[in-house]
Chains A and B, each alone.
Chain A
Amino acid sequence: MPVPQMLDGLTPPSAPELRRRTALAALFAAFTLPAGVVAAAPVTQTLRFIEGSDFDTLDPAIQRTRSTEIILLLVFNRLVKWKDTDLSALVPDLATSWSVDDAGLAWTFKLRQGVRFHDGTAFDAQAVKATFDRLLDPKFGSPNRSLFAPVTDVQVIDDATVVFRTKDPYASLLENLADNSACINSPAALRKAGRNYGRAPVGTGPYKLDDWTPGERTVVSRFDGYFDGKARFDTINYRPIPEGAARVVELESGNTDIATGIPPESAERIRGNPALKLVVLPSSFQVFFELNNTRPPFDNIRLRKAINHAVDRAGIVQKILGGFGSVPNSPMVPGVQSYTPFDPYPYDPDFARREFEAVFPGGFKEALVIWTPTGRYLKDQQVAEATQGYLNAIGLQTEFRVWEWASYQQTLYRPDRSGQGTGFGSNAAHMWMLGTSIPVADWRLSRKLGTKQSANLTGYSNAELDRLLHFARTNLDYAKRMDAYQQASRLLWDQDPPFLYLYNQKQLIGMQKGIGNFQDFAFELPILAEVTKT
Chain B
Amino acid sequence: MAGFLHFLLATRKYIAVAGLAVILGFAAAALMAPLLYSWESITLIRLDRALAVPSWPLPLGADELGRDMTGRIVWGARISLLVAALAVSISLVFGLAIGALAGFYQNWASSAVMRAMDAVISFPRILVAIILIAVLGPGVFSLALAIGLSSVPVFARLFRAASLSLRRREFVLASQSLGATDARLLLRHIVPNTASLMVVQGSISLAEAILIASGLSFLGLGPQPPTPEWGAMIAQARAHMVSTPHVVYVPGLALFLVVLALNVVGDGLRDFTDPRASRTSTL
- Asked if A404 contacts B47 (CB within 8 A), the reply is no
- Asked if B226 contacts A389 (CB within 8 A), the reply is yes
Taking CB as reference atom, which chain A residue is nearest B227? A400
- Say yes or no for B197: interface residue by CB 8 A criterion: no
- Selected from A268, A320, A374, A404, the residue in CB contact (under 8 A) with B50 is A320
- Asked if B242 contacts A393 (CB within 8 A), the reply is no
Residues of A contacting B224 in the complex (Cβ-Cβ under 8 angstroms): 399-402
Q: Complex Cα distance A515/B138, Å?
A: 45
- Say yes or no for B25: interface residue by CB 8 A criterion: no
- Asked if B43 contacts A389 (CB within 8 A), the reply is yes
Please report the number of residue pairs spanning A and B whose Cβ atoms sit closer than 8 angstroms: 59
- Asked if A382 contacts B243 (CB within 8 A), the reply is no
Given contacts A382-B64, A382-B236, A386-B65, contact A393 B45 (CB under 8 A): yes
Taking CB as reference atom, which chain A residue is nearest B243? A265
- Say yes or no for A230: interface residue by CB 8 A criterion: no
Chain A contacts with B in 380-431, Cβ cutoff 8 A: 381-382, 385-386, 388-390, 392-393, 399-402, 404
- Asked if A402 contacts B220 (CB within 8 A), the reply is yes
Residues of A contacting B236 in the complex (Cβ-Cβ under 8 angstroms): 381-382
Taking CB as reference atom, which chain A residue is nearest B46? A389
Taking CB as reference atom, which chain A residue is nearest B40? A392
Given contacts A265-B239, A374-B220, A382-B65, contact A316 B225 (CB under 8 A): no
Residues of B contacting A143 in the complex (Cβ-Cβ under 8 angstroms): none
Given contacts A320-B65, A374-B220, contact A244 B239 (CB under 8 A): yes
- Asked if A315 contacts B239 (CB within 8 A), the reply is no
- Say yes or no for B44: interface residue by CB 8 A criterion: yes
Taking CB as reference atom, which chain A residue is nearest B219? A404
Chain B contacts with A in 42-90, Cβ cutoff 8 A: 43-45, 47-48, 50, 64-66
- Say yes or no for B270: interface residue by CB 8 A criterion: no
- Say yes or no for B240: interface residue by CB 8 A criterion: yes
Residues of B contacting A312 in the complex (Cβ-Cβ under 8 angstroms): 47
Chain B contacts with A in 188-243, Cβ cutoff 8 A: 220, 224-226, 236, 238-240, 242-243
Interface size on B, residues (CB 8 A): 20
- Asked if A315 contacts B243 (CB within 8 A), the reply is no
- Say yes or no for A319: interface residue by CB 8 A criterion: yes
Residues of A contacting B43 in the complex (Cβ-Cβ under 8 angstroms): 389, 392
Residues of B contacting A334 in the complex (Cβ-Cβ under 8 angstroms): none
Taking CB as reference atom, which chain A residue is nearest B51? A319
1/0 per position for A21-53, CB-CB distance to B under 8 A?
A: 000000000000000000000000000000000
Chain A contacts with B in 301-336, Cβ cutoff 8 A: 312, 315-316, 318-320
- Asked if A315 contacts B242 (CB within 8 A), the reply is no
Residues of A contacting B239 in the complex (Cβ-Cβ under 8 angstroms): 244-245, 263, 265
Residues of B contacting A320 in the complex (Cβ-Cβ under 8 angstroms): 47, 50, 64-65
- Say yes or no for A269: interface residue by CB 8 A criterion: yes
Residues of A contacting B243 in the complex (Cβ-Cβ under 8 angstroms): 265, 268
Q: Complex Cα distance A235/B50, Å?
A: 45
Residues of A contacting B225 in the complex (Cβ-Cβ under 8 angstroms): 381, 385, 388, 400, 402
Closest chain B CB from A20 CB (angstroms): 40
Q: A-contacting residues of B (Cβ < 8 Å)?
A: 43-45, 47-48, 50, 64-66, 138, 220, 224-226, 236, 238-240, 242-243
The 10 closest A-B pairs by CB, nearest first: A389-B45, A315-B47, A319-B47, A319-B50, A400-B224, A385-B225, A400-B225, A402-B220, A386-B45, A265-B239
